[in-house]
Amino acid sequence: MGEINLLIPGPTPLPPRVLQAMGREMTNHRGPTFGRIMAEILDGLKDVFRTRNDIIPLVCSGTGGLEAAVVNFLSPGDRVLSVNNGYFCERFAEIAERFGARVDRVLAEWGRPVPLDAIAGRLRADAGRDYRAVFVTQSETSTGVHNDVKAIRSLLGDHPALLMVDAVSSLGAIPLETDAWGVDVAVTGSQKALMSPPGMAFISVSDRAWAVAERASTPRFYLDLQRGRVEARRQPPGTAFTTAVTVAYAVHEALRLIHEEGLDRVFERHRQMARMVRAGVRGMGLRTLTEDAWAVDTVTPALAPDGVDAVTVGTQARERYGVLFGRGIGKLEHTVIRIGHLGYTQSAMLLAGLETLGRTLNDLGARAATDAGLEAARQTLRAPAKR
């Protein structure tokens, strides 16, 4: 833990080795030294994406990555089905609409998954097979819901729509089997489970999606993935435009950390941290927005007790105790405190965060059973890991 305890669901804390890697001197982004680093990044990402697809690196935030998915694989007027149960699902849909797509939303209350039969119904109703894409946000960070990519892919069957997954806050924290499940386009960012600073997005593109890109007529230049593919396939690989060299240094080192730990153990650690935080929150007498059956292992939205403004909790926790929680987003702003537990976030940081949450609530006159919460949280660390 540094001077602050950063418990937002991204950007996430940087491991010391990642911080150190960024201290390397600047180099030529088109030279062979950096080319080797980029080659190792793309190989390492293929392991995490679980894919043999091309991975295209971009200099942008996760939102820029989502825009790349829209402008490279959709044309104005194309129909899209948006599996939509939160703020970031809606952002993906909004981007598509901005570029002229016609988006149907299959909705659910925030904090709940979209029923699979509702999705199946929309697909059945699409007799002409007009949908060109289905959008799924795997980890909906605003609500802590895990949207089931594999199940949604199964519903698609042989429907020709591309499955496009926002994996910005999920990749490297929970399993995404890009090839085995048949994900056509998956987007992630550097600043979540990849334990690096914000500034780069990475997109996995299937052969089916590349074929669609040939025909997609939305104009694009900076985010043109076909242009990126030319550079990514060179030996050594590069990027179409100047890349974010120090962010790449960070991602390179973070992927080594993931490789050393092993992807399965990384996922298990995320499950354990999630279990611990949920137990801690409930142990102190709070509820979580999201039921465990569909809770994602990256962030836990705790509901503020009646009469307590979640924004005030966040402000006080930061100002008095140096703990940074995520604010509730959109309509959840005043009711939800989001505790991020992805990437390098350690149990000690989370226990300190839980302690601060309880203390802050008590400061504000709400009764939180801080000690009981901490004990419940610690208990999960002693319990044998369950899958």
- Interface ranges with a second copy (CB under 8 A): 2-4, 6, 8, 10-14, 19, 22-23, 25-33, 59-64, 67, 94-95, 98-100, 189, 191, 197-200, 219-223, 241-247, 250, 318, 324, 327
> Which residue, 38 or 123, has its beta carbon nearer to a second copy?
38
Report the nearest approach of a second copy to the CB of residue 264 (Å): 26
Closer residue to a second copy (CB): 315 or 347 = 315
**Which of residues 21 and 273 has its CB atom nearest to a second copy in the complex?**
21
Please report how close the Cβ of residue 67 comes to a second copy at its closest, in angstroms: 4
Residue type, 132: R
Residue 34 Cβ vs a second copy, minimum distance, rounded to whole Å: 10
- Cα–Cα distances (Å) from 365 to 313, 359, 361, 362, in that order, read 11, 10, 6, 5
**For residues 186 and 317, which CB has a smaller minimum distance to a second copy in the complex?**
317
Give me the least distance between CB of 99 and a second copy, in Å please.
Answer: 5
Is residue 351 within 8 A of residue 378, CB to CB? The reply is yes
Nearer to a second copy, 155 or 349 (CB): 349
57, 214 Cβ separation under 8 angstroms? no
Residues 6+ away with beta carbon under 8 Å from 334: 304, 309, 310, 311, 328
Measured CA to CA, the distance from residue 35 to residue 256 in angstroms comes to 17
Q: How far is the CB of 314 from a second copy (least distance, A)?
A: 10
Going by the DSSP 8-state scheme, the letter that residue 88 receives in this structure is: H
- 359 appears as a binding residue in the annotation: no
What is the DSSP secondary-structure string of 275-343?
A: HHHHHHHHHTT--BSS-GGGB-TTEEEEEPPTT--HHHHHHHHHHHH-EEEEEP-GGGTTTEEEEE--T
The single-letter DSSP state of residue 174 is B
Binding residues: 338
Known binding-site residue numbers for substrate? 338
